[in-house]
Amino acid sequence: MSSLRLRYLLLGGLLAVIPLTGTTAQAEEPRARLDVQAEAQLDVVPDRATLNARLWERTPAVARHDDDTGADALRQARDRLEERASALIRTLEAAGVERDDISAGSLSVQPEYVPAPRQSDSDNGTLMRTRLDRPFQVHVDDLDRLPQLLDALTAAGVNAMDGISYDLADRDAALDEALVKALEKARHKAELMARAMSVSLGAVASISETRPPIYMPRMMAMSADARESAGQADYRPGTIVIEAGVSVSWEIEN
């Protein structure tokens, strides 16, 4: 067989394949799809809480450039603060709190500026004092004990109660439940739309999250003065809100 004839045969075979390839591409046109987005919100009753409180002490206010008694005053304030912190921990332990459930934060030291007593109308001096602050957290697994523990904190003389943070012992289970709820809602919407359009849903073509599950712990703000004057207040935790969103696509079967 000559070389020229072989070339013609190969070219003819290639031309014969091209229409078949085009026919296959036409036969595999993408199927119609139904795209649905859905969001779900889950309200969960918390089962644990964290009490946030602070103790602080201050040095006497002195002139800003008076360093004669600064070191001694600072040491005395720190000693008073440590003594009160130890008393606070003992009070909480006496109320039934485990030592591991009490967290003492780092000591912070910051200056404060206060107006000096006015001796005349022309006086406008400023005094400086130092504040030593230590935060505490008390972790509570039995929410029925909250009033008792708040009373214990008040009895221990905390300077500020920064509120109650409510949480869940098993966050992952709640996040999964919110995601499943969003998927079920998406399925319901898709079935409703398919019935209205007289079509049938096929296989799921794609699925994704439009937003990751959002977990929003609940915070109850309060002050030591408010707690002391409230008596036997009702500390119902309310609910924690968890939100999730999904996007799902189904093939449509005519």
pTM as predicted: 0.69
φ/ψ (deg, to 5) at 188:
-65, -45
Q: What is the pLDDT of residues 137-175, one digit of tens each?
A: 999 999 999 999 999 999 899 999 998 999 999 999 999
- The H or E element that residue 55 is part of is strand 48-58
**Mean pLDDT estimate for the chain:** 83
Asked which of 17-21, 42-46, 203-207 is least confident by mean pLDDT, the reply is: 17-21
Q: Which of 184, 250, 188 is nearest to 40 (CA)?
A: 184
Residue whose C-alpha is closest to residue 30's, from 236, 202, 237: 202
Token duo for residue 87: 């008393």
The string of DSSP codes covering 64-100 is TT--SSHHHHHHHHHHHHHHHHHHHHHHHHHTT--GG
Render pLDDT for 202-253 as a digit per residue (tens, 0 to 9). Answer: 999 999 999 877 877 777 765 545 444 444 455 678 889 999 999 999 999 8
Helix axes 146-155 and 70-94, enclosed angle (nearest 10): 150
Q: All domains of the chain, ordered by start, with CATH?
A: 31-45+171-218+236-253 (3.30.110.170), 49-115+128-167 (3.30.70.2970)
Q: Measuring CA to CA, which residue among 169, 177, 167 is closest to residue 40?
A: 177
Worst-scoring range by mean pLDDT, 16-20, 53-57, 157-161?
A: 16-20
DSSP annotation string for 151-218? HHHHHTT-SEEEEEEEE-S-HHHHHHHHHHHHHHHHHHHHHHHHHHTT-EEEEEEEEEEEEEEEEE-E
Facing residues of 53 across strands? 136, 161
